[in-house]
Amino acid sequence: MKTEALIESLARDVQPVRSKPFGLHLDTAGAVGLALAFLGVFFVYGVRSDLSGSMIAVFAKAAFCFAGLVVAAPLLYLLSRPNIGARAWLAPVFLLSAVSLGVAAIVLVQTPPETRLHAWIDAGVPACLQRIPLLAVPVAAALLFVVRGLAPTRLTFAGAALGGVAGAIAGIAYSWFCPVDSIAYVATWYLAAILLCAGIGAVLGRWLLRW
Binding site for another protein (CB under 8 A): 1, 3, 6-8, 10-24, 27-28, 30-31, 34, 66, 69-70, 73-74, 77-78, 81-85, 88-89, 149-151, 153, 210
Compute the radius of gyration of the chain from its Cα atoms. 20
Nearer to another protein, 54 or 153 (CB): 153
- CA neighbours closer than 13 Å in the CB half-sphere of residue 56: 3
Nearer to another protein, 27 or 181 (CB): 27
CB of 103 to another protein, least distance (A): 22
Nearer to another protein, 35 or 121 (CB): 35
CB of 79 to another protein, least distance (A): 11
Q: Are 97 and 68 in contact (CB under 8 A)?
A: no
Neighbours of 54 (CB within 10 A): 15
CB of 147 to another protein, least distance (A): 10
Nearer to another protein, 20 or 118 (CB): 20
Q: Are 35 and 170 in contact (CB under 8 A)?
A: no
Q: What is the DSSP letter of 188?
A: I
Neighbours of 107 (CB within 10 A): 19
